[in-house]
Structure 1
């Protein structure tokens, strides 16, 4: 190759590199009118309502544009993992549902309604949890509004679990002892769980006293103990054999107990203040174990459904099945009304504060 040809090729390559340098960046593709989330701030720069014990930084400033909090989904802050652990759990559940429906079989009829409502309840609590952790930093009113909805999601999930456990997992000996009280009790404890959490959030201010945790945990624990009783009876009283469902049930119980521990105790951040602001705080671990609990629960219930779907109507009767499933939207409405009453009290307090 002659020297002139080499120089011409070098010149062409240089021009190509210059054109590549002028390719649009990601920031160029975002409309200039779209707000960007502000930098995170220290705990001392946000009101006490938004501060978490032993979490010293990574807070989002209040009173930003709503779109800033939506875009903070892709920002590093102290709620990021709380959002993403539950946001990713939703698609995982849907993928596992699709896979199990293909391998174990699923037909949309009366016998399958409790399983469908369980999935709906799980997606509800995951979605409302994501909304709460993503948008609660906007203002004091938004904080209460979205966490009240979060409590509604937890109560809906509790009743969805009880439907699946009752119709697919319970054994005859258990049903003969407490079965006739189970679903009414699950509905009552679900409402008490929602009301107790709303009351605790409404009544107590930071730094939260022990009474707040008690007000939250007692009704929630009673709801869980009742909801899990068919599973506990089956694991303790019946041989596991070669079935996979009991093993998944054992995993869901173990994950829930670990989740409850990290929800109740602010560890490890209590021992390392400021070191777990973005990664490793107890509430993030709680979210992770609760997501795993839900995935294992779906796997167990799908196998119980596949084993029992041909006898569900015979065992329980079509009338009881439809009544139990029809009570689901009625309970959701009841939970929403409870949150609305609590939100009304918040609005009254905020108005009196402004006067």
Structure 2
């Protein structure tokens, strides 16, 4: 198990080191194309784009879209936020393809929650990459892409909930009051998480007050506590983890999620070293790294649970419930998109008034 952890850490670390050693843009991009402008100090960008204790490495606003796309290969203070999640996608897909044959995976009702989990993971990773890569274009696009990012997080939350419910939960937990309300509760809290983050982004301006973080964390924390409850129940009630190969991976996914939550909530270590973490070492970068590891180990745990439950999941839950529950993620996606679009309309009015 330790070797598994070290291997995953080594893969992501080597990938990040490779990012930090990218060739100069002039070496990989034809000179006929416009190159991104050099990064600037915090005082040279509008307050919306400034992060606490990050003093340099900002991309100038109002460049062409091509410049922001090409900034994928530029060293700036969002580079690792982009690459940690950009590289996590191929790692997850590689893990998936490496286990498909061993799992005897076929697309049917029994495998549907596992498939939805994979799609939801790639969704949140892709939306996160888009937000951090493109948000510097303008104030309007900054809000647009981060609202989209919140949609991805909500979809991922519900994808986790579905997989935990159908593959990890025990019958005693499903018969409890929490188990009986789990799926509709997870669906609502995923939307509530998206709505809370959108509202916090819309309502509060920099320098952000504590209320903004509260609006973000309370809905997200409630969603996580519910979504992880079948996993926590199994971890706490299983006498011997050696007989359940998925449980150490579940423990690791919880461990890395809690670490990621810590670095998301607090601007550390840059708070203690202003200006020294501008490019590498920001709390948000560490948050991305630990969240990616959480998703990787979560997928490994679900592989084991799926292999154990594959032949009985349809019999236990019924094909109709499996399809309805998994199809409801489309309804969640549409509701979150509607919430983001509505908030964006109000944000546009606010930006217009402030001009």
If the length of structure 1 is used for normalisation, what is the TM-score?
A: 0.91
Which residue in 2 is equivalent to 1:198? 198
For residues 31-70 of structure 1, the aligned pairs below 5 Å read 31-70=30-69
Secondary structure at 1:322 match in 2: helix
For residues 1-355 of structure 1, the aligned pairs below 5 Å read 27=26, 30-177=29-176, 178-239=178-239, 240-354=241-355
- Hey, what's the Cα distance between the residues in 1 that align with 2:84 and 2:27? 30
Superposed CA offset, 1:123-160 (max 9, x none): 00000000000000010001000000000000000000
Superposed CA offset, 1:331-355 (max 9, x none): 110110000001101111122234x
Alpha-carbon shift at residue 29 of structure 1 (Å): 7.3
Residues 296 and 26 from structure 1, CA distance in 2 versus in 1: closer, same or farther, beyond 3 angstroms? closer
- Hey, what's the Cα distance between the residues in 2 that align with 1:30 and 1:218? 44
Residues 293 and 28 from structure 1, CA distance in 2 versus in 1: closer, same or farther, beyond 3 angstroms? closer
- Hey, what's the Cα distance between the residues in 1 that align with 2:174 and 2:234? 11
Residues 159 and 28 from structure 1, CA distance in 2 versus in 1: closer, same or farther, beyond 3 angstroms? closer
Superposed CA offset, 1:77-113 (max 9, x none): 0000000000000000000000111222211110100
Superposed CA offset, 1:294-328 (max 9, x none): 00000001110010010001111111111101111
Contact 2:25–2:73 under 8 Å retained in 1: no
Secondary structure at 1:161 match in 2: helix
Residues 319 and 350 from structure 1, CA distance in 2 versus in 1: closer, same or farther, beyond 3 angstroms? same
Higher radius of gyration, 1 or 2: 1
Superposed CA offset, 1:163-199 (max 9, x none): 0000000001100102220010001000110000000
Alpha-carbon shift at residue 27 of structure 1 (Å): 4.2
Contact 2:39–2:59 under 8 Å retained in 1: yes
Superposed CA offset, 1:277-300 (max 9, x none): 000110000000000000000000
Alpha-carbon RMSD? 1.3
- Hey, what's the Cα distance between the residues in 1 that align with 2:98 and 2:261? 29
- Hey, what's the Cα distance between the residues in 1 that align with 2:168 and 2:27? 55
Give the stretch that moved more between structures: 320-329 or 45-54.
320-329
- Hey, what's the Cα distance between the residues in 1 that align with 2:81 and 2:247? 29
- Hey, what's the Cα distance between the residues in 2 that align with 1:30 and 1:230? 50
- Hey, what's the Cα distance between the residues in 2 that align with 1:261 and 1:120? 26
Alpha-carbon shift at residue 236 of structure 1 (Å): 0.3
Contact 2:25–2:74 under 8 Å retained in 1: no
Alpha-carbon shift at residue 221 of structure 1 (Å): 0.1
